[in-house]
Amino acid sequence: MAENMFLFWGSGSIPCWKPMIVLEEKGFGGYKNKFITFSNKEHKGEDVLKLNPRGQVPTFKDGDIVVNESNAICEYLECTYKDKGTQLIPTDKAKRARVLQRMHEAAANMQQKLVLDLLYYFFQTKEEDRKEEEVAKKVEAAIEELDRWEAYLGETKAFVAGPDFSMADVWFYPIIAQSIRMGLDLGKFPNMKAYYDKVTARPSVQKSWPPHWKEEPPMISPFKGRI
Amino acid sequence: MAENMFLFWGSGSIPCWKPMIVLEEKGFGGYKNKFITFSNKEHKGEDVLKLNPRGQVPTFKDGDIVVNESNAICEYLECTYKDKGTQLIPTDKAKRARVLQRMHEAAANMQQKLVLDLLYYFFQTKEEDRKEEEVAKKVEAAIEELDRWEAYLGETKAFVAGPDFSMADVWFYPIIAQSIRMGLDLGKFPNMKAYYDKVTARPSVQKSWPPHWKEEPPMISPFKGRI
């Protein structure tokens, strides 16, 4: 089936990484793909725009079916290929509730507080224009969020939604990985540190690891010395 | 089953309205619930915090199962009660792909451009501090987004993801309804106007309509005269 799949993706994009982990977990590791570089604006190229008028990656095809939004691709793959590879959304009602809750909690809260609010502030604000009081407020919200997930992991002693790796980890882990790249120190978050090491070692994560992270240092380190 | 369900909700909250429409569409109209008022900070009350440590609504219970994030509640209800009431996420692979795509496209883009960026700017910035050039930029992005969905509706001639009402409409419609309350004129969006009238008339929407919208005028009208 993997030979009928095609993914346009960029390196270090959390939205791209999520479906890439799912593709590996579901056993579609050999899917066709095209790596695009953001700096050359290849996501605005004709081949992407034909399938995704927003000119964004990930852009995904499964045969004739096009799915673009990263969360939609993840859910599409899990629903459509339920019985292939790792089951990422449980069929048991209570377990499914927990996984869905943590998926959307990560998407709404972790993404907002660690990526959109804090990290993007650094990406989008010149060094000389950054206000320390603004940063302090955002850091405080990020720590509160990290504490919350640290407690969840203390309860499960395994993955963010329970004893098994699930879609909630797919939506949560790349945010932590990116934050660590940007200087987050997990010293004060021992459960998350153990979790991070365990998930990082998964073949699905290793195979989809952002290639430029292995070679280039981060452009900014907003968390360094702050969290 | 509805008698085992319980929802904490607030009036005029898009996150609350979404699962409320789903509950009606799935035939759980008689669910127990508690209306909380934001101005009295009742979402930070003990009864909510016991189930939802974030102190947010919607907070939902189905028997012993607690689900909190609005998108998670919607998906939980659809997955768990697939065969009850309206099917909101199709089982057909291609149709499901389209519904998932539009659901997450609405959540990511419409919500960002019409609610988070523009509407919240007005909510959170005092009148004297608002910059017209900032508003103009946000309005332009909102119009581009509205044009896109106007085109989608021109293709389907029905609902946002195809001929049938789906979860994509549940995630999309409340944003339009709130925008209209805030002064959006659909004069330039005839497909969306027809769509809005049709969805507004649905019993699920009528039964879950924000009660205070019927009585109180909006506090701000950011779209008035602008879109």
- Are B171 and B208 in contact, with CB atoms under 8 Å apart? no
Q: Report pLDDT digits (tens) over A32-83.
A: 999 999 888 988 999 999 999 999 999 999 999 999 999 999 999 999 999 9
User: Stretch A154-178: mean pLDDT, rounded?
Assistant: 97
Supply the DSSP symbol for B216: S
- Nearest CA-CA distance, residue B105 and chain A, Å: 6
Long-range Cβ contacts of A206-215 (<8 Å, 24+ apart): A207/A24, A207/A29, A208/A17, A208/A20, A208/A21, A208/A23, A208/A24, A210/A11, A210/A12, A210/A13, A210/A17, A211/A11, A211/A35, A212/A11, A212/A12, A213/A11, A213/A12, A213/A181
Helix axes B190-200, B167-181, angle to 10 degrees: 100
> Contact A96/B105, CB-based, under 8 Å?
no
Q: Give contacts of A89 with chain B, Cβ < 8 Å.
A: 79
Distance from CA of B62 to the nearest CA of A (A): 10
Mean pLDDT, chain A, rounded, equals: 95
Distance from CA of B93 to the nearest CA of A (A): 6
At A123 the pLDDT is 86
The rounded distance, in Å, linking the Cα atoms of A83 and A27 is 11
Quote the radius of gyration of chain A (alpha carbons, Å). Answer: 18
Buried b (16+ CB within 10 A) or exposed e, A91-109: eeebbbbbbbbbbbbbbbb
Tens digits of residue pLDDT in B140-155: 999 999 999 999 999 9
Q: Residue A35's beta-bridge partner residues? A: A9
Residue-level pLDDT at A89: 98
Tell me if B96 sits within 8 A of B88, measured CB to CB.
no
Of B67, B80, B97, Cβ closest to residue A65: B97
Radius of gyration of chain B (CA): 18
What is the DSSP secondary-structure string of A30-78? T-EEEE--TTTTGGGSHHHHHH-TT--S-EEEETTEEE-SHHHHHHHHH
* Nearest CA distance, A8 vs chain B (angstrom): 16
Chain B contact residues (CB < 8 Å to A): 53-54, 62, 64-72, 75-76, 79-80, 89, 93-94, 96-97, 100-101, 103-105, 107-109, 148
pLDDT band at A120 (very low <50, low <70, confident <90, very high): confident
Q: Across the A/B interface, how many CB contacts are shorter than 8 Å?
A: 82
* Contact at CB, B108 and A69, closer than 8 angstroms: yes
Total count of residues recorded for chain B: 227
Percentage of residues in chain B having pLDDT higher than 70? 100
Q: Residues B52, B28: contact at Cβ < 8 Å? A: no
Provide the pLDDT confidence category of residue B39 given band limits of 50, 70 and 90: confident
Determine the residue among B75, B102, B144 to mutate to test chain A binding: the one whose Cβ has the most chain A Cβ atoms within 10 Å: B75
Residues of B in contact with A101 (CB under 8 A): 66-69, 72, 76
Asked if residue A24 lies in contact with residue A204, where contact means CB atoms within 8 angstroms, the answer is yes
Q: Terminus-to-terminus CA distance in chain B, angstroms?
A: 43
Q: Are B89 and B166 in contact (CB under 8 A)?
A: yes
Q: Cβ separation of B75 and A100 shorter than 8 Å?
A: yes
What does the pLDDT read at residue B120?
A: 87
> Do B79 and A96 count as a contact with CB atoms less than 8 A apart?
yes
Quote the mean pLDDT of chain B.
Answer: 95
Mean pLDDT of A97-105: 98
Q: Helices A190-200 and A167-181, interaxial angle, to 10°?
A: 100
- pLDDT for res B38: 87
Q: What domains are defined for chain A?
A: 2-80 (3.40.30.10), 93-215 (1.20.1050.10)
The interface predicted TM-score (ipTM) is 0.95
Interval B155-170 mean pLDDT: 98
What whole-number distance in Å separates Cα of residue A140 and Cα of residue A224?
Answer: 14
**Yes or no, beta carbons of A62 and B104 under 8 Å apart:** no
Q: What is the dihedral of CA B43, B45, B210, B179, to 10 degrees?
A: -20
In this predicted model, what pLDDT tens digit does every residue of B52-88 receive, in sequence order? Answer: 999 999 999 999 999 999 999 999 999 999 999 999 9
How far is B70 from chain A, CA to nearest CA, in Å?
8
β-partners of residue B6 are: B32, B61
Nearest-CA neighbor of B45 among B31, B62, B59, B26?
Answer: B59
